[in-house]
Amino acid sequence: MTMRPLLIALPAALVLSGCATLEKPGEPALSPPQAQARTGAVSAADPRAQAAGEAILAKGGNATDAAIAVMLALTVVEPQSSGIGGGGFLVHGSADGTVVTFDGRETAPAAAGPNWFLGKEGDPLSYREVVTTGLSVGVPGNIALAAKAHAANGSLAWEELFQPAIVLARDGFLANRRLHQSLEGQIDRAGVTEFGRSLYYTADGAPVAAGTRIVNPALAETLERIAALGPDHFYKGQYADKLAATVAAATPGGIGMTRDDVTSYEAPMRNAVCGSYRDYRICGMGPPSSGGIAVIQILGQLERFDLAALGADNPVTWHLFVESQRLAYADRELYAADADFVSVPVRGLVARDYLAERSALISPDTALDDVAAGRPRGVVTVASDGDEPPENGTSHFAVVDAEGAMVSYTSTIEGPFGSGLTYGGFFLNNELTDFSFSPMRDGVPVANRVEGGKRPRSSMAPMVVYDPQGEPVLAIGAAGGSTIPVQTARSIIGIIDFGLDIEDALGLPFIMAFGDRLLLEESSWLADRKAAFAALGHDDIATASPPLKAGGVYRTQTGWVAARDPRLDGLLETQE
Ligand code: GLU
Q: If you measure from the C-alpha of residue 58 to the centroid of ligand 1, how many angstroms do you get, rounded to a whole number?
A: 31
Axis-axis angle for helices 315-335, 291-302 (nearest 10): 140
What does the pLDDT read at residue 240? 93
297-326 pLDDT tens trace: 999 999 999 999 999 999 999 999 999 999
146 contacts 82 by C-beta, under 8 angstroms:
no
Quick one: pLDDT at residue 392? 61
Phi then psi dihedrals of residue 311, to 5 deg: 95, 155
Tens-place pLDDT, residues 513-543: 998 899 999 999 999 999 999 999 999 999 9
Res. 358: pLDDT tops 90: yes
| Nearest CA-CA partner of 354 in 404, 423, 303 | 303
pLDDT tens-digit map of 250-269: 999 878 999 999 999 999 99
Cα 285 to middle of ligand 1, angstroms: 14
Q: What is the pLDDT of residue 391?
A: 39
- pLDDT for res 237: 87
**pLDDT for position 569:** 76
Q: pLDDT band for position 11 (50/70/90)? A: very low
Domain ranges of the chain: 1-512+548-576
Its pTM surpasses 0.95: no
Give the residue whose CA is nearest to atom 1 of ligand 1: 414
Residue 458 assigned as binding residue: yes
> Is 540 labelled a binding residue?
no
* pLDDT at position 39: 72
Which DSSP state fits 478? E
**394 is known as an active-site residue:** yes
Q: Which helix (H) or strand (E) holds 405?
A: none
Question: What is the Cα–Cα distance from 492 to 325, expressed in whole angstroms?
Answer: 14
Is the CB of residue 458 below 6 angstroms from any atom belonging to ligand 1?
A: yes
Please give the number of the atom of ligand 1 that sits closest to the Cα of 434. Answer: 1
Q: How confident is the model at residue 124 (pLDDT cuts 50, 70, 90)?
A: very high
Determine which one of 101, 222, 394, 412 is catalytic: 394
Residue 93, helix vs strand vs coil: strand
105 annotated to bind ligand: yes
Measured from the CB, is residue 285 less than 6 Å from ligand 1?
no
> Quick one: three-class SS letters along 350-400?
HCHHHHHHHHCCCCCCCCCCCCCCCCCCCCCCCECCCCCCCCCCCEEEEEE
What CA–CA distance (Å, rounded) separates 494 from 472? 17
Q: What pLDDT, on the 0 to 100 scale, is given for residue 5?
A: 38
pLDDT at 191: 97
Check pocket membership of 481 for ligand 1, CB cut-off 6 A.
yes
pLDDT, tens digit (0-9, with 9 covering 90-100), for 144-195? 999 999 999 999 999 999 999 999 999 999 999 999 999 999 999 999 999 9
Ligand 1 pocket check for 392: Cβ under 6 Å: yes
Residue 14, pLDDT > 80, answer: no
Flag whether pLDDT at 125 surpasses 90: yes
